[in-house]
Amino acid sequence: MVNPKIYLSPPHMSGREQYYLMEAFKSNWIAPLGPNVDAFENEIAAYVGAIEAVAVNSGTAAIHLALSLLSVTKGDKVFCSTLTFVASANPILYQGAEPVFIDSEPDTWNMSPTALRKALNEAALKGKLPKAVIIVNLYGQSARMDELQLICNYYGIPIIEDAAESFGSTYKDKASGTFGKYGIYSFNGNKIITTSGGGMLVSDEKETMRQARYLATQARDSAPYYQHSVVGYNYRMSNLLAGVGRAQLHVLESRVDARRRIFDRYYHALADLPGVNFMPELAGTRSNRWLTALTIREEKLGVSVRQIVESMNKANIEARHVWKPLHLQPLFKDAAYYSHTEDEHIAEDLFQTGICLPSGSNMTEKEQNSVINCFINTVNDAKKTIYYFRKHEV
C-alpha cells in the first residue's frame, strides 16, 4: 500500500476561515470588494508596517501593477533576479519591456550585489538604465537588502520587492516586502498562507496606491457614466477570499514556527551526510523557511537531485528541483544576464544541485520521517552504505 501523498506545500486552514465566509454570506457581501477586503488590507499593512496595502487576485497581478505604476513600457529594461519562479518576470513582458537577469550570491541564494552593480554600471555607461529592479526573496530568505538598496539608490532606480515566498520573514527586524518602493505578497495555494488565490501590493506611497486601486478596477474615471482614459485591469480580490485571508493572517506566526521546525528536523537528520548543504540563513534575517531547500554534491553523496526526486515520487512524496534560472528558460533566451563573477554562475549551480523538500506547516512528524527515510534510503541504495536516521536526536 502506498501512503497518502505528501505534498510540497499544501494549504493549511485554521478553522476560522468559515466564520468569515459565513459572515460574508449572511450579509450577502459576496461582491464587489467589501468589508473583508478593507479589513484584510488594513491588517496586512499594520502587520508589515506599510502605509498602504491593495488586495489583488494574485501576486503576479501585484507585480504587474507595480510595473504599471512605475510607467514601465515598451522598450524599457527591468532588472530581475534570475533564480525565481517565472511569475516574477512575466509582467515585464506584459508591459512589452525587456528583462535583464541578475545572478544569485551564495549566502542568500538571492540577487548578487556584485552582479547588480556591474549590470547597472554598464547600463549607465550606455545611457539606458532600467525602470525598476525586481528583487526576489527565495524560499523565504531575504536578499542582501542593505547592499542592494545602496546600489539602487546610487543610480536612483526603484525596487520592487517580490516577497511572494517570504511573507512573515524579517530582515533586521523589518518585515520582508517593505524594502522597495513597492512590495508584493502572494496568497496562492502553495504559499505560507493562502486565500486559494490572491496577492497584495504594499507601499508607503499613498498617492500612487490610489492609482493602483484605480488601475486594478478597470481604470474607471470619475464620471456619471463609464469613462476610461487609460488601460485598466480586473485585478481586485473578492470579499470572500479576503475573509479566508483574514483568518489565515491570524495564524501566520504559528505557520512560520511550524515551517522552521520542519527545517530544523530535516537539518538535524540530513546535514551530516557528505555533500549535503542546507540553504543558509543570513545573519540578522529570519526566514519563514517557506520551503526547506538544500544542495547535493553528487560526487560526494553518490546520488543526484534527479535520483532523489524520482525515488521520492515513487514513495508518493512531492520533492522538487530548485527553480530553473530564468536566463536558461526558452521564454527568455534573448534576455541579457549578469553572473555573480566572471566564472561563478551561482543560480546555475543551485539549479544543478538544489532540491526542495515537502515543507507544509500541517505535515505530521511521521510524514517528515517518511521524507527523511526516503532520502537516506536512496543514498544507501546507491552507495551500499548504511547511514541511518538518528531519530532520537531530532
Q: Where are the beta strands (DSSP E) in the chain?
A: 52-56, 77-81, 98-102, 132-136, 159-162, 170-171, 174-175, 182-186, 199-203, 276-278, 285-286, 292-296, 320-321, 336-338, 354-357
Asked if residue 182 lies in contact with residue 161, where contact means CB atoms within 8 angstroms, the answer is yes
CB-based contacts of 74: which residues, under 8 Å, 6+ apart? Answer: 95, 96, 97
Tell which residue, 36, 33, 11, 10, has the closest CA to residue 21. 36
Q: Confirm if 300 and 274 have CB atoms less than 8 A apart.
A: yes
Q: Which of residues 123-142 bind ligand PLP (CB under 6 A)?
A: 136
Q: Which stretch binds ligand PLP (CB under 6 A): 52-60, 71-79, 99-107, 109-117?
A: 52-60
Shortest distance (Å) from residue 184 CB to ligand PLP = 7
The sign one gets for the Cα dihedral 211, 216, 217, 220 is: positive
Is 40 near ligand PLP (CB under 6 A)? Answer: no
Show the cell assigned to 108: 542568500
Closest CA to 273 of 368, 379, 118: 379
59 binds ligand PLP (CB under 6 A): yes
162 binds ligand PLP per the rule CB under 6 A: yes
Four-residue CA torsion sign, 305, 105, 328, 82: positive
Of these residues, 74, 181, 191, 206, which one is catalytic? 191
Residue 87 interacts with ligand PLP (CB under 6 A): yes or no: yes
Task: Write the interaction track for ligand PLP spanning residues 281-320; mark x where CB under 6 A is met and - where it is not.
Answer: ----------------------------------------
Residues contacting ligand PLP: total by CB under 6 A: 14
Task: Pick the closer one to ligand PLP by CB: 56 or 247.
Answer: 56
Q: Which residue is nearest to ligand PLP (CB)?
A: 59
> Which residue's CB is nearer to ligand PLP, number 140 or number 302?
140
Q: Which of 315, 257, 275, 240 is nearest to 29 (CA)?
A: 240
Q: Decide if 361 contacts 258 (C-beta within 8 A).
A: yes
Residue 80: beta bridge partners?
101, 134
Report the DSSP pairing between strands 52-56 and 199-203. Answer: antiparallel
Closer of 70 and 89 to ligand PLP (Cβ)? 89
DSSP annotation of 11 reads: -
DSSP β-bridge partners for residue 201:
54, 184
Instruction: Indicate whether 161 belongs to the interface with ligand PLP (CB under 6 A).
Output: no
Among 84, 104, 311, 368, binds ligand PLP (CB under 6 A): 84
The pattern of x and - marking residues 247 through 266 that bind ligand PLP according to CB under 6 A reads: --------------------
Options 88, 176, 361, 378; binder of ligand PLP; rule CB under 6 A: 88
- Print the binding letters for residues 326-355 with ligand PLP: x by CB under 6 A, - otherwise: ------------------------------
Neighbours of 228 (CB within 10 A): 11
115: contact with ligand PLP by CB under 6 A: no
Retrieve residue 232's grid coordinates. 485598466
Stretch 175-234 residues interacting with ligand PLP (CB under 6 A): 186, 188, 199
> 85 or 375: whose CB is closer to ligand PLP?
85
Instruction: By CB under 6 A, tell whether 85 contacts ligand PLP.
Output: yes
**172 is an active site residue:** no
Task: Quote the least distance from Cβ 244 to ligand PLP, whole Å.
Answer: 14
Q: What is the rounded CA–CA span in Å between residue 360 and residue 364?
A: 9
**H helix or E strand, kind and range, residue 148:** helix 145-155
Q: Of residues 9, 60, 170, 239, which one binds ligand PLP by CB under 6 A? A: 60
Question: Which among 47-55, 56-64, 218-226, 248-256 is the span making contact with ligand PLP, rule CB under 6 A?
Answer: 56-64
Q: Which is nearer to ligand PLP, 276 or 350 (CB)?
A: 350
- Pick between residue 61 and residue 308 the one whose CB is nearest to ligand PLP: 61
Catalytic center residues: 191
Binding site for ligand PLP (CB under 6 A): 58-60, 84-85, 87-88, 136, 162, 164-165, 186, 188, 199
